Amino acid sequence: FRVDNLIVKSETGDGEIPDEPDTDVAGREIIARQDFSVPSPDSLGQSIFGWNDWSLRNKPVSPAMYWTIEADPDNKEGVPFTESNQVMRARRVKVGSANEWAIFFAKAGGESVEARGEVHLKFRIKQESAENNFILRVRNNQAGDGWGNTLVSFIIRPSGQVIETASGWQPIGKFSPKAWNTLELVINTETKAYDLYVNGTKGNETSLPLAGNGDGYDPHVSVLDLDIEKASKGENVWYIDDLEIWTDHTEELKEKAELLRSALLSGEINGDIALPQPEMGAEYSIKWESSNPAAVAADGKVTKRGWRQQASLTATITRNADIPYVQNASAKCRFDFVVLPNES
SS3 275: coil
pLDDT band at 3, cuts 50/70/90? very low
Q: What is the DSSP string of 283-305?
A: TEEEEEEES-TTTB-TTS-B---
Helix (H) or strand (E) holding 66: strand 66-71
Cβ neighbours of residue 24 closer than 8 Å, sequence gap 6 or more: 331, 332
Nearest to 89 by CA among 38, 137, 151: 38
Residue 47 pLDDT > 70, yes or no?
yes
pLDDT of residue 51: 74
Nearest to 141 by CA among 167, 104, 166, 109: 104
Residue 17 pLDDT > 90, yes or no?
no
**pLDDT tens, residue by residue, 171-213:** 899 989 889 999 999 999 999 999 999 999 998 889 999 999 9
Strands (E), 133-254: 134-139, 150-156, 161-164, 170-174, 180-188, 193-198, 201-202, 208-209, 223-228, 236-248
∠ Cα 325 103 219 (to 5°): 65
pLDDT of residue 5: 32
Distance CA 111, CA 291 (A): 36
pLDDT of residue 91: 87
DSSP annotation of 254? H
pLDDT of residue 1: 34
pLDDT of residue 180: 94
316-331 mean pLDDT: 96
pLDDT of residue 76: 66
DSSP annotation of 133? -
111-120 mean pLDDT: 93
∠ Cα 190 192 193 (to 5°): 120
Output phi, psi for 135, to 5 deg. -120, 140
C-beta separation of 21 from 313 below 8 A: no
Tell me the percentage of the chain whose pLDDT exceeds 70. 87
Amino acid at 119: V
pLDDT of residue 98: 64
**For residue 104, how far is the Cα from the chain centroid?**
15
What's this model's pTM, rounded to 2 decimal places?
Answer: 0.85
Average pLDDT in the chain: 85
285-307 mean pLDDT: 92
Output phi, psi for 78, to 5 deg. 80, 0
Residue 2 pLDDT > 70, yes or no?
no
CB atoms within 10 A of CB 184: 16
Residue 69 pLDDT > 70, yes or no?
yes
Nearest to 69 by CA among 50, 96, 97, 93: 50
First-to-last C-alpha distance (Å) of the chain: 37
Provide the β-strand partners of residue 114.
Answer: none
Cis omega (within 30 of 0) for bond into 63: yes
pLDDT of residue 344: 57
Judged by average pLDDT, the poorest of 75-79, 139-143, 296-300 is 75-79
**pLDDT tens, residue by residue, 133-159:** 999 999 998 666 567 899 999 999 999
